[in-house]
Amino acid sequence: MDKLVWVNNQQYLLQKNIEQSVPFLQHFTSEQVNRVTAFHHTYEKFKNTPLRNLQALASLLGVQNIMVKDESYRFDLNAFKVLGGVYAIGQYVANILGRNIEDLSFEQLKSPEVKKQLGDLTFISTTDGNHGRGVAWAARELGFKARIYMPAGSAEERLQNIKNEGAYAEMTTMNYDDTVRYTAKLAQDNGWVIIQDTMWEGYEEIPLWIMQGYATLVKEVVDQLEKAPSHVFLQAGVGSFAGAVVAYLKQSYTQEITFILVEPYAANCFYESFKQGAPHYVTVGGEMQTIMAGLACGEPNPMAWEILKTYTKIGICCHETVAATGMRVLGNAIGTDARIVAGESGAAPFGCFYELMTNEHYALLRDTLQINEHSRVLFFNTEGDTDVENYRNIMWHGGYAK
Ligand SMILES: Cc1ncc(COP(=O)(O)O)c(C=O)c1O
């Protein structure tokens, strides 16, 4: 099996004038995103995560800049996901209280008066690990209950991390998408509030808030960067993260940016959808076993799809070894570059980039992307070592080298 396969979605973009037809960018204006960020900043321990400039690695690989936004530092939770869950819970509560979120803080949401008005709320969600941990964390911080369900084959450590946040957590015997349907049913039967990071008909508001929550990290990047990136590599599970990043970057820069979407072979619904050149997405199913657990989703978020089908140039799906190589390269810094502890889903896009810059087999892809010594390439390390055992297996023992 090839380490990477790719599809040029650009041809589809050229065929149809779909740029104006994207209706969702208005949810990611700087005004809207400032509101989100203001809410996040009311958390007393809030800190921006670092944006690393890997200059030695850029010289070695022949590009001008390699920038990595390192979300392993987010709220001591080792992943970016909490930004979405906590903003969605904040918005939900603000709506019940009839208040604007910009007038509410973490402290106010925790107050006994608010608790008296709201009574007991239980939030429920499906997760590969990071989203559920973020929801559990947010519920605990704000004094609510959380119930979190994981697909079969999830890492025990990730389950335990969720339990450590005080949530009820359980591993099911289903894959990710079926577990989402199961939790949606549980929520309906029990009057619990589902905080899911993907969207379906009739369930649109909360997933939109989650995507808006992610925009805080993109705004940090825009504020931290001196110049627009030329290329952005983004990992996709359901695509909510990538959709939010693209939406905010498109509104922040007038310069042309090339977006590349990365998925594992085992869960490549965007790749398959691009390949069909269809205006509608297709889904993939089965067990979707991959070390890139956060990307193991077979059904795109429809709103994210609308954004990503319009703006993605290349869709790549990659072999497990590509993510492992990305982890090793980022974790073994050269020169004065910072070391980046990147988990499987966090490192996959960088792994693809490393492969296409160092393997002549992908020269055509490199040319199609026009990556060269003038390129400023941006990555998001969306998680750190959220599965420590697997991280060490890969870093210390050469796991997934072949
Ligand atoms: C670490 C990590 N990166 C990326 C993603 C992908 O996000 P999305 O499902 O919104 O595409 C996830 C999702 O859980 C994740 O946990």
- Residue 242: inside a domain, yes or no? yes
Task: Specify whether 364 is located in the same domain as 311.
Answer: yes
pLDDT of res. 7:
95
CB distance 299 to ligand 1 below 6 Å: no
**Catalytic residue among 3, 69, 70, 81, which?**
81
The answer as to whether 124 is a domain residue is: yes
Query: DSSP code of 265?
Result: G
Whether 109 and 39 share a structural domain: no
Question: Are 233 and 101 in a shared domain?
Answer: no
Total of domains in the chain? 2
Report the atom number in ligand 1 closest to the C-alpha of 297: 9
Residue 283 CB contacts under 8 Å (≥ 6 apart), including other chains? 177, 269, 298, 299, 300
Does a structural domain hold residue 402? no
Q: Which atom of ligand 1 is nearest to the CA of 71?
A: 1
Ligand 1 pocket, residue 183 CB under 6 Å: no
Contact 62, 372 (CB under 8 A): yes
d(CA 353, CA 318): 11
Q: What's the CA-to-centroid distance between 128 and ligand 1, angstroms? A: 9
Same domain, 306 and 374: yes
Torsion angle of the four alpha carbons 287, 198, 352, 339, in this order, in degrees rounded to the nearest 10 = -110
Residue tagged active-site, from 70, 128, 177, 387: 128
Measured from the CB, is residue 387 less than 6 Å from ligand 1?
no
Q: What is the pLDDT of residue 191?
A: 96
Q: Which pLDDT belongs to residue 16?
A: 64
Is residue 169 included in any domain, yes or no? yes
Rounded-to-integer distance, Cα 177 and Cα 151, Å: 8
Ligand 1 touching residue 212 (CB < 6 A): no
**Same structural domain, 341 and 220:** yes
19 Cα–ligand 1 center, Å? 25
For position 99, what pLDDT does the model report? 93
- Are residues 229 and 351 part of one domain? yes
Pair (257, 332) in one structural domain: yes
Instruction: Select from 206, 236, 266 the last residue of a domain.
Output: 206
For residue 79 and ligand 1, the question of a CB distance below 6 A is answered with yes
User: What is the pLDDT at residue 279?
Assistant: 80
Q: 294 alpha carbon to ligand 1 midpoint, in Å? A: 5
Q: Are residues 114 and 157 in the same domain?
A: yes
Instruction: In whole angstroms, give the CA distance from residue 145 to residue 167.
Output: 7
- Hey, whose CA ends up nearest to atom 6 of ligand 1? 237
Instruction: Give Cα separations from 146 to 15, 89, 100, 171 (angstroms).
Output: 46, 11, 24, 15
Question: Ligand 1: which atom is nearest the Cα of residue 129?
Answer: 16
The residue range of the domain holding 114 is: 82-206
Catalytic annotation present for 81: yes
Q: What is the pLDDT of residue 138?
A: 95
| Nearest Cα residue to atom 2 of ligand 1 | 294
* 148 and 183 inside one domain: yes
Among 154, 189, 206, where does a domain finish?
Answer: 206
Q: Is residue 387 part of a domain?
A: yes
pLDDT of 402 = 81
CA of 239 to the centre of ligand 1 (A): 8
Sequential pLDDT tens for the chain (402 residues): 899 999 999 777 776 665 556 778 999 999 999 999 999 999 999 999 999 999 999 999 999 999 999 999 999 999 999 999 999 999 999 999 999 998 999 999 999 999 899 888 999 999 999 999 999 999 999 999 999 999 999 999 999 999 999 999 999 999 999 999 999 999 999 999 999 999 999 999 999 999 999 999 999 999 999 999 999 999 999 999 999 999 999 999 999 999 999 999 999 999 999 998 868 899 999 889 999 999 999 999 999 999 999 999 999 999 999 999 999 999 999 999 999 999 999 999 999 999 999 999 999 999 999 999 999 999 999 999 999 999 999 999 999 998
Ligand 1 mutation target, pool 380, 382, 390, most atoms within 8 A of CB = 382
Q: Is the CB of 239 under 6 A from ligand 1?
A: yes
Is the same domain home to 215 and 89? no
342 C-alpha to ligand 1 centroid (Å) = 13
Q: What is the CATH number of the domain that holds 183?
A: 3.40.50.1100
Residue 287: the pLDDT is 87
Residue 358 and residue 212 share a domain: yes
- Residue 177 lies inside a defined structural domain of this protein: yes
Domain boundary among 190, 206, 222: 206
Distance CA 319, CA 124 (A): 32
Answer yes or no: are the C-beta atoms of 133 and 127 closer than 8 Å.
yes
Residue nearest to atom 5 of ligand 1 (CA): 294
Same domain, 346 and 300: yes
**Ligand 1 atom closest to Cα of residue 240:** 10
